[in-house]
Amino acid sequence: MHVPAPSVAPAPGRRPKRAVHGVLLLDKPLGLSSNDALQRVRRLLRAEKAGHAGTLDPLATGLLPLCFGAATKFAQLGLEADKGYRAVMQLGVTTTTGDAEGEVLRTRPVQLTLEKIEAAIRQFLGPIEQVPPMHSALKRDGKALYEYARAGVEVEREARRVTIHELRLVDWSGERLEIEVRCSKGTYVRTLAQDIGEALGCGAHLVALRRISSGALGLEGAVALATLEGAGAEAIEARMLPVDALVADRPAVRLSAEEAGRFLSGMRRKIDHPDDELVRVYGPQPAAFLGTARVKAGDLIPLRLLSPVEVEAILHTRTSR
């Protein structure tokens, strides 16, 4: 016989956590880590479960999708999505960290033409090899590379293949160069700036970075942290996108009520749909998002599923607004 666990009252003075489901597009401010920004918003919402879909360094600003409740199940898809950035480079100066926080390593004269800059930028389009910077959170033997760097230890790193889908010059004024880049996951824009600087023969480091897109999500509709801190939990929830926002660009499959119940229990279903590595699946109601699946040879194969309780909670929230 199942014996329910006794409920535990919240500590005196503490408000109880809430089941909140959805995706909030935050315009992360300068100086905060992604996790610090997430925890601030989580406290405002008193949310039970939260995560983010792609780390931004404290020196970077811009789009940080925050996932709450059932949406955290799909945060990994945000981590794996292509990203878009605006980056400002200081030409003629290289630093120990590749950005403005590091010590100056070398200064060189800047003697460039527009043609030379555009030719150098074109070299980095498509698949390229990047050596991860020492000042990064990449782990080696359970320890972040930046910890080795702070101790003055240089660790050998293997080059990794990333893809630069788009790269264009936005502005050039003397020793400042602004670029816009759309790239695959794992790309270090700081390293890209350094490499472009070397291709130009003068060196460079990153002085500003702003994320402008993550997958199909853009800065449009993103909200500043200061705005959220002046609002109540209900006002913040009203700004949230649905749980399926991170997969909104994927093909949709809709199931009958009977088939939806079986799919939610983890069973494969037969459907008439072309093969696809990722589709979003819905029940008969338009807002009844059930989770993600892949399609192979007419089989709808569950990947990440919401629980029936989560589906009901989301439907209730949508209809009560």
CB 2, CB 46: distance < 8 Å: no
Q: Write the single-letter amino acid at 98.
A: G
Task: Report the 10 Å Cβ neighbour count for 103.
Answer: 7
DSSP state of 227: H
**Which residues are registered as beta bridge partners of 276?**
295
The dihedrals phi and psi of 306, each to the nearest 5 degrees, come to -80, 155
CB 24, CB 241: distance < 8 Å: yes
- Per the residue annotation, which of 27, 57, 195, 244 is the catalytic one? 57
DSSP per position, 19-82? ---EEEEEEEPTT--HHHHHHHHHHHHTBSSEEESS---TTEEEEEEEEEGGGGGGHHHHHHS-
- Which residues, 6 or more positions from 23, have their beta carbon under 8 angstroms from its beta carbon? 53, 65, 66, 67, 68, 71, 240, 241, 242, 243, 245, 246
Residue with tokens 């020793």: 175
* Angle, alpha carbons 189-190-196 (nearest 5°): 85
Token pair listed for 200: 């130009």
Per the annotation, the verdict on 171 as an active-site residue is: no
CB 22, CB 35: distance < 8 Å: no
Query: How many angstroms separate the CA atoms of 154 and 58, rounded?
Result: 23
Torsion of CA 127, 179, 137, 74, to 10 degrees: -70
- Enzyme catalytic residues: 57
